[in-house]
């Protein structure tokens, strides 16, 4: 693939972003305790005053993308009318899943259901009972299925539409052209892109930190030579893996990320099939069926539950953290999904992004979480105790109760490592895009800089406050970006209403009026050019 003509680095966005990120790393190195105190105070303020914003907006994003998929806008193609998808559907889904959630599912696949089983959300069940187990599965689905993928779909859809159909730059700011006009090329647009870079940086750092902690926990399970929850080991792993994902990132999407994503999916399927076969198969099937039904039955009540009459500490640690984490990931996951989705219709995009990964999530938690819960419910306690000591060993403690524990634990560590590399790989590439005027193939040196800073930020967050420090970074970085996403929905809807063939009252608008919505120098998309040629003939 040839480099984009706009591959020149935007020194304003790049310089400011790198400078502030470097200052954050320096702050953490020199004043770790002060950084931890400031982050804790900021987090308490955001959760106490604006937690409801995350709750309402996330459900709103789900309703918005579902509406677009089944409305008349669903047939609009993300690209020219004759564009075909660049990637096969299997690879498209694999890359989406690896970048969007892979490492998180490895970390929380057992840890979350067991945590909710031991301490049921909002006191809705008695701890360590069958009712608590069912509730645990429902909330695990709630946090990992439709809602997070709807968040990703909003940004991914907006960017794919404005980049491939409207011919604008592959930048977050480009989605605001219907609102801001030419101002998207000025300080306001650059500010939006800079904000997106910081959300991406801290979202990526959170994932890297979780992955490093889990790899450390897995190595501790396999050998006592590695201490559990060792920040020193975790930081060493971050350093090693940072080099690995930078090498993958500079190799390009078609080679690095696509290959890693396909390998990830094969190993993940193997792990799930193994547990399904050797584990409590009938229990898993029954749990899967009942908990998915309970999830759909309680989807709306769960979506609106706040801390007003519930457990504020639990909500902050779980639901609000998740919604903020997903939002902090949207600039890079959304940009990446947009990058690989050219040629698909809006309906195909939404259904692919929303439904397929959610089905995989149901199966993943059903098998891993269901197997762990069965161990506890059938009188083989130990998983709850392991999670209470360290959530990083939850998966390995479960695998230890089944045959081939050592081999499967090693496969799990390899999976975490590959998800680590593919997710961070995409994050570095996207930060390179955002600081290179939307180049689809950013300069390699820029990608290396962002990859290095992502690894350093993850290490600093771990040193500042461990796992809690990673959660704080995700929520704080996502707080302003949720407002950007709300405005993005309005901007996308405004442009879609002017789409030829979707709004009859606008079909006869003269060509100059429609062309005025495009930046100077950007050619009309193919579907507009073909309409104009037909009228001239």
Question: Is the alpha carbon torsion for 327, 305, 489, 186 positive or negative?
Answer: negative
Q: Give the percent of the chain with pLDDT over 70.
A: 85
437: Cα within 13 Å, side-chain hemisphere: 12
pLDDT, one tens digit per residue, over 26-60 is 887 777 777 778 877 887 787 777 888 889 999 99
Q: Exposure string (b/e) for 199-231, b if CB count within 10 Å is 16 or more?
A: bbbbbbbbbbbbbbbbbbbbbbbeeeebebbbb
On the question of pLDDT at 292 being above 90, the answer is yes
pLDDT at 250: 64
On the question of pLDDT at 358 being above 80, the answer is yes
Tell me the two tokens of residue 151. Answer: 């968040």
Residue 345 three-state SS: strand
467 band by pLDDT with thresholds 50, 70 and 90: low
Map tokens 């009938």 to a residue: 282
pLDDT at 519: 44
pLDDT, one tens digit per residue, over 397-453 is 899 899 988 888 888 888 888 877 777 777 788 888 888 887 877 888 888 888 888
On the question of pLDDT at 522 being above 70, the answer is no
pLDDT at 113: 95
pLDDT at 199: 80
284 band by pLDDT with thresholds 50, 70 and 90: very high
Distances (CA, A) of 369 to 58, 233, 416, 417: 25, 27, 17, 21
pLDDT at 97: 67
pLDDT at 258: 61
Residues 528, 164: Cα–Cα separation, whole Å: 13
257 band by pLDDT with thresholds 50, 70 and 90: low
Residues 335, 200: Cα–Cα separation, whole Å: 10
Give me the torsion for CA of 117, 102, 321, 43, rounded to 10°.
130
Tell me the two tokens of residue 290. Answer: 């009942």
On the question of pLDDT at 191 being above 70, the answer is yes
Residues 207, 473: Cα–Cα separation, whole Å: 11
Residue 77 three-state SS: strand
Q: Exposure string (b/e) for 464-488, b if CB count within 10 Å is 16 or more?
A: bbbbbbbbbbbbbbbbebbebbbeb
Residues 413, 410: Cα–Cα separation, whole Å: 5
On the question of pLDDT at 263 being above 70, the answer is yes
Of residues 436, 465, 431, 414, the one with CA closest to residue 206:
465
Task: Looking at mean pLDDT, say which of 77-86, 204-213, 330-339 comes out highest.
Answer: 77-86
On the question of pLDDT at 123 being above 60, the answer is yes
How much is the mean pLDDT over the chain? 81
Tell me the two tokens of residue 23. Answer: 């200052």
Alpha helices in 145-230 (DSSP H): 146-160, 177-180, 187-222
pLDDT at 69: 93
pLDDT at 347: 94
pLDDT, greater one: 458 or 295: 295
pLDDT at 465: 65
Q: Which whole number is the average pLDDT over 75-94?
A: 83
pLDDT at 506: 43
Residue 318 three-state SS: coil
46 Cβ neighbours under 8 A, 6+ residues apart: 475, 476, 479
pLDDT at 273: 93
Q: Which whole number is the average pLDDT over 193-212?
A: 81
pLDDT at 469: 66
pLDDT, greater one: 16 or 469: 16
pLDDT, greater one: 474 or 520: 474
Q: Could you tell me the domains of the chain?
A: 12-503 (1.20.1740)
pTM of the shown model: 0.81
Tell me the two tokens of residue 78. Answer: 């993300």
Residue 37 three-state SS: helix
On the question of pLDDT at 520 being above 70, the answer is no
132 band by pLDDT with thresholds 50, 70 and 90: very high
């Amino acid at each position: 693939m040839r480099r984009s003509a706009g591959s020149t680095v935007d020194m304003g966005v790049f310089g400011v972003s790198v400078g502030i990120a470097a200052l954050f790393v320096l702050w953490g190195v020199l004043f770790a305790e002060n950084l931890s105190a400031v982050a804790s105070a900021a987090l308490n303020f955001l959760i106490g005053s604006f937690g409801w914003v995350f709750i309402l907006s996330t459900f709103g994003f789900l309703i918005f993308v579902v509406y677009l998929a089944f409305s008349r806008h669903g047939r609009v193609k993300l690209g020219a009318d004759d564009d075909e998808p660049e990637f096969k559907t299997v690879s498209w889904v694999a890359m989406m899943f690896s970048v969007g959630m892979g490492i998180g599912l490895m970390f929380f696949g057992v840890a979350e259901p067991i945590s909710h089983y031991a301490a049921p959300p909002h006191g809705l069940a008695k701890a360590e009972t069958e009712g608590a187990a069912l509730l645990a599965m429902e909330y695990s689905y709630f946090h990992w299925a439709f809602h997070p993928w709807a968040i990703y779909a909003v940004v991914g859809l907006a960017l794919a539409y404005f980049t491939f159909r409207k011919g604008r730059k592959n930048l977050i700011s480009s989605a605001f052209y219907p609102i801001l006009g030419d101002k998207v090329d000025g300080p306001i647009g650059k500010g939006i892109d800079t904000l997106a870079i910081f959300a991406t940086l801290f979202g990526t750092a959170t994932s890297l930190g979780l992955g490093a902690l889990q790899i450390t926990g897995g190595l501790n399970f396999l050998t006592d030579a590695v201490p559990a929850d060792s920040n020193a080991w975790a930081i060493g792993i971050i350093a090693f893996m940072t080099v690995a994902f930078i090498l993958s990132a500079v190799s390009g999407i078609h080679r690095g990320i696509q290959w890693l994503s396909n390998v990830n999916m094969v190993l993940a399927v193997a792990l799930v099939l193994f547990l399904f076969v050797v584990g409590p198969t009938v229990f898993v099937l029954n749990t899967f069926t009942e908990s998915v039904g309970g999830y759909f039955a309680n989807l709306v009540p769960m979506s609106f539950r706040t801390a007003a009459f519930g457990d504020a500490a639990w909500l902050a640690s779980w639901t609000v953290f998740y919604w903020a984490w997903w939002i902090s990931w949207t600039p890079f996951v959304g940009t990446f999904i947009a990058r690989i989705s050219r040629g698909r219709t809006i309906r195909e995009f939404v259904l692919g992004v929303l439904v397929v990964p959610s089905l995989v999530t149901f199966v993943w938690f059903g098998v891993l979480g269901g197997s762990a819960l069965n161990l506890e419910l059938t009188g083989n306690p130990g998983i709850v105790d392991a999670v209470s000591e360290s959530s990083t060993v939850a998966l390995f403690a479960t695998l230890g109760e089944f045959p081939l524990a050592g081999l499967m634990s090693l496969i799990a560590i390899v999976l975490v490592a590959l998800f680590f590399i593919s997710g961070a790989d995409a994050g570095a590439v996207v930060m390179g895009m955002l600081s290179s005027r939307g180049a689809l193939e950013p300069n390699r040196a820029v990608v290396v800089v962002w990859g290095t800073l992502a690894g350093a930020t993850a290490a600093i967050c771990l040193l500042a406050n461990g796992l809690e420090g990673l959660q704080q970074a995700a929520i704080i970085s996502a707080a302003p970006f949720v407002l950007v996403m709300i405005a993005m929905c309005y901007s996308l809807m405004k442009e879609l209403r002017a789409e030829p063939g979707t709004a009859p009252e606008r079909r006869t608008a003269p060509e100059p009026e429609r062309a005025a919505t495009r930046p100077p120098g950007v050619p009309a998309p193919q579907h507009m050019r073909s309409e104009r040629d037909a009228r001239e003939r």
